[in-house]
Structure 1
Amino acid sequence: MIVYVFDGSFQGLLTAIFESFSRKHEVVDLIEERLFEPGFFDELIRIRTESNRAERVWIGLKKKVGIDGQQRFYQAFLSESPTVLQHLFNFAQYVFRSPNGCAENFGNADVLAITQAAQKVHREKHRMEAFVRFKKHQNGLFMAAICPDFNVLPLILPHFKNRYADQSWLIYDERRHYGIYYDGNVVCEVLLAHKPRASTGQDVLEAGLDGQERLYDTLWKDYFRSANITERNNPKLHLQHVPKRYWRYLTEKLDTLT
Structure 2
Amino acid sequence: MTTLIYDGSFEGLLTAVFEIYEHKLQNIKIQKGEWLSMALFEDVIKVVTDESRAGRVLQGLQQKLSPAGLQRLYAAHMAGMEDEDGMLIGYIRYVFDSNQNVEEDYGNKYVLRLAEVIRMIRREKHRMEAFVRFQKLQDETFYSAIEPDFNILPLVAKHFKNRYTDQKWIIYDMRRNYGLFYNLFEVEFITLDFATARPDNVISSYTEDEGLYQNLWKNYFKSVNIPARKNTKLHMRHIPKRYWRFLTEKI
Q: Same fold (TM over 0.5)?
A: yes
- 1:229 aligns with 226
Shift in CA distance, 164/54, structure 1 to aligned 2, threshold 3 Å = farther
Q: 1-side partners of 2:167 and 2:105: how far apart?
A: 44
SS in 2 for 1:102: coil
Q: 2:215 aligns with which of 213, 218, 221?
A: 218
- 2:31 aligns with 31
Contact 1:29 1:86 in 2 (8 A): yes
Query: What residue identity is the alignment partner of 1:248?
Result: R
Q: Which has the higher mean CA deviation after the structures are superposed, 44-53 or 123-132?
A: 44-53
Residue deviations 1:34-90 (CA, integer Å, cap 9, x gap): 354254323322111123433343343233221232232123224433320011011
Q: How does 1:18-167 map to 2 (within 5 A)?
A: 18-34=18-34, 36-167=36-167
- 1:207 aligns with 204
Query: What residue identity is the alignment partner of 1:205?
Result: V
TM normalised by structure 1 equals 0.87
Residue deviations 1:198-232 (CA, integer Å, cap 9, x gap): 5xx7x423121012211111111122222223333
Q: Does 1:174 align with 2:174?
A: yes
Displacement of 1:197: 4.8
Query: What residue identity is the alignment partner of 2:224?
Result: A
Query: What residue identity is the alignment partner of 2:9?
Result: S
Contact 1:121 1:150 in 2 (8 A): yes
Shift in CA distance, 55/170, structure 1 to aligned 2, threshold 3 Å = farther
SS in 2 for 1:143: strand
Q: 2-side partners of 1:251 and 1:132: how far apart?
A: 9
Contact 1:62 1:69 in 2 (8 A): no
Shift in CA distance, 35/72, structure 1 to aligned 2, threshold 3 Å = farther
Q: Percent identity?
A: 43
SS in 2 for 1:207: helix
Contact 1:5 1:30 in 2 (8 A): yes
Contact 2:5 2:34 in 1 (8 A): no
Q: 1:244 aligns with which of 241, 245, 248?
A: 241
Q: 2-side partners of 1:17 and 1:170: how far apart?
A: 36
What are structure 2's unaligned runs of at least 5 residues?
Answer: none
Contact 2:138 2:205 in 1 (8 A): yes
TM normalised by structure 2 equals 0.90
